[in-house]
Structure 1
């Protein structure tokens, strides 16, 4: 009995068999039989005893008191022995079903996508992966988490519903346990995404998970394709020691901080990033174009009608976004393009692009002026945000931080943060308190950033952010002050609620992280592009007035806009309509990769979206 269900069932099955055989031999040797029947041979006796053992009602049809009494004993034996065996079999089946319900059965899939861990990002991540694999039949995504299997399946069904051509399989277990990784057949997975939330004690759990994965031998000739969230830059060296080139780390805190900084200075930028990163619109592709070999990068910018060129990938894999326009493409180098799909990237038939040179008017940009930024709230990214902001603003700028911590607990200074272009000050106060905001003299600030509190749960953090945003917008309206307000949210569903307060832009951190994870899971090389794109060094995405490039009094095609940007050493990839800046249905006016041959008539406040160094 101590050996478990299998041993117990086997023992009882053997005992039942012995009982049936012994009783059959006794019936056969004793010559007992129903009245009017001949003596039963051994096979007939075995069958009769078996039937009466399994079915206690069978004894009711017996005749002859001797035979009745013997069959009654057999029936009682069946009740105590065989019925116990049947009960154990039923319990064993129930136990196995319960084990399956708990998500402990082995996954038999191959070439599947594995997600390790669970967080709010998982819903956007799976949604994007399903879009990316829409042209593949029978794609399987396996989730391994310590959450209950039924809870995971219920949550996914409620948020995502039925996903076409995608099968979701949930398993309960620890991502850092080798046995549990074996359950999801990790060694045959196409790609592996490791979620790593702040609640997981930084990167310690991530390191353990990677050690467990790399210990399991790969079943495919291709190496592991690992994508992981990393909290601290100090962890990168450890990850490379463990997984070498098999892992693509995403420094999520650093990336979100950069997006917050860039977005607070350029309204609409987060929408540009979301359009580039999701799989429902235009995406980033790598394309080798032998016909353009020897041509300059500036010529390549005008070589496609339905694709926007943004850079070059060298033979050794280095990424160059918006390189010098005189740079010539070398053999085997690939262009980095934005296109609706990889099959929509084809060269123009005509060698000369239809450019309206008379519509080009390059206006000198005004020199940068000092900027004053207000940061409301506090999270782990605050110091990084201030340091990054210092790399963009003009000398003489300032930043004010308002949070609930006492001043003695906060160590923000120009010396500590190594600031060169701006001063920093701190004031204790609750950002959701109207009186605190009224006393800040908001009219002196050019930009305001409302940060979410990562120590609260998602709903509470976003609720505090919404309250702060509502007060902030109302105060600015009453003073007729045009302050650009950027708001950070955790849950994308709260973006609709925030429309009432008319923020200039959103940074939905969990959504952006999910989009980046999905992109890198599908294309490993994308990580290098994202790292370069969000880095202060080199070229980044900017939104600049359309009137500084082309005339606004007549329609021009986008070839003309690209040429105007090219003459400034920039790569134009789209535009933003000011009239639709508040319209969610029109992507807040953002248009990425428009067909270059279609005319566009720009209004004075419209912006050109381009890659530039400043």
Structure 2
């Protein structure tokens, strides 16, 4: 009969049956397991003891003597004494031996369990950090890798530097990921602790009250900024009445900036990712290569900003400070009262308590020049008066940063310029249309519907006819430009669009300057764009800013001024505006020419090396004694007031760019972007003596 099990057939193998029996015994509990272990132990020890006694040449001749010898061997093997004597004596000795054995076993078990729990706690990262003057990173995101990398570079000449990371992942997992992404940390020791950053008791594990700086990492998703605010509140509760470390954080949505600033307290610095990213995109779209300059100044790999106090220059006007250093570039003055003055007036006198802001390789490389630097006055030139022709701008995609980018573009583009936006989705088109209707200035804006990753829609735009293009990233926090289900999103869409743009450029024979916004810095290496192209990765940019501020809190005012509207900022200007082309001059000559125009010259970019990495022709803070020959397409990196395009007749906007020396000092304090700067804070900075 089929379908019924019978007892006929080959027997089952012994090994599976033994395993099944063993598993059944284990499952029945501790008492059954102890009984079976005792029986198995006696079954092994007693026969072995009999064999040992019979193998001994001095074996007793009587049966009673032999049994006593076997008993003694069993007792010594099982650690129950093996005493001989009256039955009562033997029984009591066995009981005492069992009690001692139970006590020792329990003690060993307790010690073992305690050590195991301690090891597990250490592996889980639940022990308290006992370091001081360390840097704390709260949270876990892609920001942690550039931050750790930059902190390691900044601590290269510092002994016993420590970075403590508190994240929700397992301690070993975080250490492995950081080691894989960053590599060797040199003198810097990395400590990871596991736990949620919104719990004050967990935050206290990394001792933020004893840290030199605390960086709160941003998070993606709609709840990212809320998590940052809750982490700041937990940090405040953890350090209450026990200290107040320097706190640096960032939010993605500008609407949450004020709440985060209130949670960070009066000493905290909260950056607005959207605002900083939008301003850099707008400036880079007009000046290709500017993103590379910011990258060079913000990371610790090359030259960056430092502040020094130089008593020998006290009482000197700012114009003379520009040529006081041969291997450092002066960019401004940090007043003793607080704030910062980028590129102040030429007659601004350096006070005794003021500090000099400069770009240099390290905090010990700011050395005064031995004598006057060589300047070729005959090679100095000035820009001619000309009205630039109208330009055509193309914006591909739409997100929350787009209106800010357009607001930054409008005052600076030539009269009659045109801006075309291509976006998809009802919400994106509605927001873009509202932005276009609000335009009443020199920039004429139109909106077209289309998928930026669709080559047919791009063909209809006639991309090669545009002078400049901006490829916006996708808001993963619910931005306006939402793609249809199944469509490409995020950096994937940007990479595909760049492929289509490159094909259109090759077919049209004309290459507009393209600025690409990306979310993940790793995708920048995959981008099919020409070498030296401009990529703005908001997360990495903010990571570099936060790390710089954590190392020197006074730099918050510097970056505030650099990215503010209406103040002095970085620009790439034609080298022919400063020196004669094809003439070999010292870099000091370029600096002197910039001084006469009211600009701080910080470096240059050679067009012939624009495709050669890793610098792509950018040279920040060269030696002023070095000689260089500029061609008609080379650029000079200057710190100057934001240029305003000439206006047409009847236009009420300003008609010329201010390039003459200014008599009024300017401060870079912007409370709506980096609030929390404290006037009168005269604490020592990274570049101090």
Matches within 5 A, 1:512-531: 512-531=541-560
Deviation at 1:164, TM superposition (A): 0.5
Higher relative contact order (CA 8 A, sep 6+): 2
> For residues 491 and 217 of structure 1, what CA distance do their matches in structure 2 show?
33
Task: Name the TM-score, length of structure 2 as normaliser.
Answer: 0.76
Instruction: Choose from 618, 621, 625 the match for 1:590.
Output: 618
Q: Would you say the 8 A contact 1:576–1:608 is kept in 2? A: yes
Matches within 5 A, 1:387-406: 387-406=407-426
1:610 matched to 2:630: no
Q: Would you say the 8 A contact 1:218–1:224 is kept in 2? A: no
Matches within 5 A, 1:419-568: 420-455=441-476, 461-498=490-527, 501-502=530-531, 504-568=533-597
Instruction: Choose from 347, 356, 359 the match for 1:338.
Output: 359
CA RMSD, 1 decimal: 2.7
Structure 1 residues 418 and 202, CA, compared in 2 at 3 Å: closer, same or farther? farther
Q: Please name the residue that 1:581 is paired with.
A: 610
Secondary structure in structure 2 of the residue aligned to 1:187? helix
Instruction: Choose from 336, 345, 350 the match for 1:315.
Output: 336
Deviation at 1:292, TM superposition (A): 2.3
Q: Please name the residue that 2:183 is paired with.
A: 161
> For residues 289 and 365 of structure 1, what CA distance do their matches in structure 2 show?
39
Secondary structure in structure 1 of the residue aligned to 2:406? helix
Instruction: Choose from 627, 636, 640 the match for 1:599.
Output: 627
Matches within 5 A, 1:187-226: 187-199=209-221, 201-217=223-239, 223-226=244-247
> For residues 563 and 388 of structure 2, what CA distance do their matches in structure 1 show?
21
> For residues 489 and 188 of structure 2, what CA distance do their matches in structure 1 show?
33
Deviation at 1:144, TM superposition (A): 1.0
Deviation at 1:234, TM superposition (A): 4.6
Deviation at 1:244, TM superposition (A): 4.1
Structure 1 residues 469 and 132, CA, compared in 2 at 3 Å: closer, same or farther? same
Matches within 5 A, 1:407-426: 410-412=430-432, 413-414=434-435, 420-426=441-447
Instruction: Choose from 327, 331, 347 the match for 2:368.
Output: 347
Structure 1 residues 512 and 407, CA, compared in 2 at 3 Å: closer, same or farther? closer
Matches within 5 A, 1:3-152: 57-59=78-80, 61-64=82-85, 66=87, 67-74=89-96, 83-84=105-106, 86-152=108-174
Q: Please name the residue that 2:326 is paired with.
A: 305
Aligned length: 558
> For residues 95 and 287 of structure 1, what CA distance do their matches in structure 2 show?
51
Q: Would you say the 8 A contact 2:81–2:94 is kept in 1? A: no
Deviation at 1:378, TM superposition (A): 3.5
> Which shows bigger deviation, 98-107 or 405-414?
405-414
Secondary structure in structure 2 of the residue aligned to 1:426? strand
Secondary structure in structure 2 of the residue aligned to 1:410? helix
> For residues 460 and 317 of structure 2, what CA distance do their matches in structure 1 show?
56
> Which shows bigger deviation, 127-136 or 370-379?
370-379
Task: Name the TM-score, length of structure 1 as normaliser.
Answer: 0.84
Deviation at 1:499, TM superposition (A): 5.5
> For residues 449 and 329 of structure 1, what CA distance do their matches in structure 2 show?
42
> Which shows bigger deviation, 401-410 or 548-557?
401-410
Structure 2 unmatched ranges of 5 or more: 1-73, 479-487, 644-689
Q: Please name the residue that 1:294 is paired with.
A: 315
> For residues 365 and 194 of structure 1, what CA distance do their matches in structure 2 show?
48
What CA deviation, in whole Å up to 9, does each residue of 1:319-367 have, x standing for no partner?
22112223332332222111112222122232x4321111112131532
Structure 1 residues 466 and 238, CA, compared in 2 at 3 Å: closer, same or farther? closer
Deviation at 1:217, TM superposition (A): 4.3
Instruction: Choose from 257, 268, 276 the match for 1:247.
Output: 268
Q: Would you say the 8 A contact 1:387–1:419 is kept in 2? A: no
> For residues 184 and 546 of structure 2, what CA distance do their matches in structure 1 show?
22
Deviation at 1:390, TM superposition (A): 2.3
Deviation at 1:68, TM superposition (A): 4.2
1:173 matched to 2:195: yes
Deviation at 1:76, TM superposition (A): 5.2
Structure 1 residues 176 and 302, CA, compared in 2 at 3 Å: closer, same or farther? same
Deviation at 1:522, TM superposition (A): 0.3
Structure 1 residues 334 and 59, CA, compared in 2 at 3 Å: closer, same or farther? closer
Deviation at 1:541, TM superposition (A): 1.1
> For residues 125 and 324 of structure 1, what CA distance do their matches in structure 2 show?
35
Q: Please name the residue that 1:363 is paired with.
A: 383
Q: Please name the residue that 1:26 is paired with.
A: none
> For residues 161 and 199 of structure 1, what CA distance do their matches in structure 2 show?
29
Q: Please name the residue that 1:41 is paired with.
A: none
Structure 1 residues 77 and 353, CA, compared in 2 at 3 Å: closer, same or farther? closer
What CA deviation, in whole Å up to 9, does each residue of 1:423-457 have, x standing for no partner?
33333332222222111111332111122224299
> For residues 518 and 571 of structure 2, what CA distance do their matches in structure 1 show?
22
> Which shows bigger deviation, 313-322 or 602-611?
313-322
Secondary structure in structure 2 of the residue aligned to 1:250? strand
Deviation at 1:465, TM superposition (A): 1.8
Q: Would you say the 8 A contact 2:583–2:629 is kept in 1? A: yes
Secondary structure in structure 1 of the residue aligned to 2:386? coil
Structure with bigger helix share is: 1
> For residues 380 and 147 of structure 1, what CA distance do their matches in structure 2 show?
31
Structure 1 residues 543 and 57, CA, compared in 2 at 3 Å: closer, same or farther? same
> For residues 86 and 292 of structure 2, what CA distance do their matches in structure 1 show?
91
Structure 1 residues 311 and 125, CA, compared in 2 at 3 Å: closer, same or farther? same
> For residues 464 and 286 of structure 1, what CA distance do their matches in structure 2 show?
42
Deviation at 1:417, TM superposition (A): 5.4
> For residues 395 and 197 of structure 1, what CA distance do their matches in structure 2 show?
41
> For residues 88 and 294 of structure 1, what CA distance do their matches in structure 2 show?
73
> For residues 346 and 218 of structure 1, what CA distance do their matches in structure 2 show?
42
Secondary structure in structure 2 of the residue aligned to 1:344? coil
Q: Please name the residue that 1:20 is paired with.
A: none
> For residues 547 and 421 of structure 1, what CA distance do their matches in structure 2 show?
28
